[in-house]
Structure 1
Amino acid sequence: MTEHLATIRRLAADVDTTALCDATPGIRVMSAALRCRSANPVVCGPARTVRCRDDFLAVIQALEQAAAGDVLVVDGAGRETALAGELFARVALNKGLAGIIVDGGYRDMRFVSTCELPVYSRHVTPRAGTTIRPGVPGETVSCGGVVVHQGDIVIADHDGIVVLDPADAVARLTAAAEVMATEARVAERLATGATLADVLNLDEHPAPLRFTV
């Protein structure tokens, strides 16, 4: 598994989420409402999942259980209560986590906004949750409108967050790399003066579409 993850991370370093979406129709894409709150948006790692509602005790437990390279994925049902903050980010940095994604609130932006740990959340709020109810760590959750299983591969960058099945992540990333190679060749042609019509076969493309409306 370690070697498999190393391959995934190596491939992911050279592709972006747009290419993954182009190469994989139906890929799980989290809601754009989950926004990067830190200085670094780039994430790649296996999901460490936790489900909780307005109480972050389970987030603390999941953070303690998380290993270096994991992405903490918190299903907070999109509520505005803060389920993590500065101290969580500091612990995650110390442990070498790949990122924190919270479908709920995050706080302490004075620190988080300059933090190198990728931190995503749906809301920013000063109001913290309670620590009196256990949550559900390690189970399948819903985050950003998509299903995330523990161990799924979470990849994020400036364009958004996608989720891959670890069993076919290498194939998806390889296909995305091919998309990016094709785009690079197109960019080279554009740099020499070609137009979009030249590189996209614009004259031929609309013809079969005229009778599909």
Structure 2
Amino acid sequence: MFKTTDLYDKYLEGLQVAAPLFRDFGGKVCFSGQIVTLKALEDNTYLKASFETNGAGKVLVVDGAASMRCAMMGDVMAALGASNGWEGVVINGCIRDSADVAKVNIGVKALGTIPRKTVKRDQGVMDIPLRFADVVFKPGEYLYADEDGIVLSKEKIA
């Protein structure tokens, strides 16, 4: 088990530290893994497709452009990700069904909650660098998250 504070103290400026924008919603508060990225605005088609694949050792980072108009994920999607081994998801946007998401064994960080679901338009872009929360999330690099925040590393450190 790691602590982001200890990782920061050990590696200092070798790590990126995300701005403290996110709330914890999942059943796992402490999670880490190799970054897989998705950019999608108010459409979770690609999020679902990602969670249908083997996510062992991976964290999905979703840039929903900080939209507060609809939820990118709910309890059914969280359960799908957990059942396929995903360690967690970080969403620059909202989720829904938060009480039920909290019962699922997956890490979930998001900006907030809203009841409205997305519209399925089959739109999104996978595996590109994403810039939000004062950091750049790069596919293949590593994310470490706990109750104190998120740190990013170019290589696996814990």
Of 71, 81, 88, the residue aligned with 2:59 is 71
Q: How do residues 139-178 of structure 1 correspond to structure 2 at under 5 angstroms?
A: 139-166=128-155, 169-170=156-157
CA distance, structure 2, for counterparts of residue 116 and residue 79 of structure 1: 25
CA distance, structure 1, for counterparts of residue 95 and residue 145 of structure 2: 18
Q: How do residues 107-186 of structure 1 correspond to structure 2 at under 5 angstroms?
A: 107-166=96-155, 169-170=156-157
Residue by residue over 1:109-147, the C-alpha shift from the partner in whole angstroms, topping out at 9 and shown as x without a partner, is: 121123221111012111112111410011111243311
Asked if 2 retains the 8 angstrom alpha-carbon contact of 1:62 and 1:137, the reply is no
CA distance, structure 1, for counterparts of residue 131 and residue 64 of structure 2: 9
Q: How do residues 98-113 of structure 1 correspond to structure 2 at under 5 angstroms?
A: 98-113=87-102
SS at match of 1:83: strand
CA distance, structure 2, for counterparts of residue 54 and residue 36 of structure 1: 20
CA distance, structure 1, for counterparts of residue 112 and residue 54 of structure 2: 23
CA distance, structure 2, for counterparts of residue 31 and residue 37 of structure 1: 17
CA distance, structure 1, for counterparts of residue 19 and residue 67 of structure 2: 14
Asked if 1 retains the 8 angstrom alpha-carbon contact of 2:66 and 2:93, the reply is yes
In structure 2, what residue type is equivalent to 1:97? W
Backbone CA RMSD of aligned residues? 1.7
Q: Which residue of 2 aligns with 1:32?
A: 20
Q: How many residues align?
A: 156
Asked if 1 retains the 8 angstrom alpha-carbon contact of 2:35 and 2:59, the reply is yes
Q: Normalization by structure 2: what TM-score?
A: 0.90
User: Where is the helix percentage greater, Structure 1 or Structure 2?
Assistant: 1
CA distance, structure 1, for counterparts of residue 103 and residue 41 of structure 2: 27
Q: Which residue of 2 aligns with 1:55?
A: 43
Asked if 2 retains the 8 angstrom alpha-carbon contact of 1:34 and 1:144, the reply is no
SS at match of 2:56: coil
In structure 2, stretches of 5+ residues that fail to align are: none
Identity of aligned residues (%): 28
Task: Say which structure, 1 or 2, has more relative contact order (CA 8 Å, 6+ apart).
Answer: 2
User: Where is the strand percentage greater, Structure 1 or Structure 2?
Assistant: 2
Asked if 2 retains the 8 angstrom alpha-carbon contact of 1:102 and 1:143, the reply is no
In structure 1, what residue type is equivalent to 2:101? V
Q: Which residue of 2 aligns with 1:84?
A: 73
- Quote how far apart the aligned CAs of 1:26 are: 5.8
SS at match of 1:161: strand
Flag the structure with larger Rg.
1
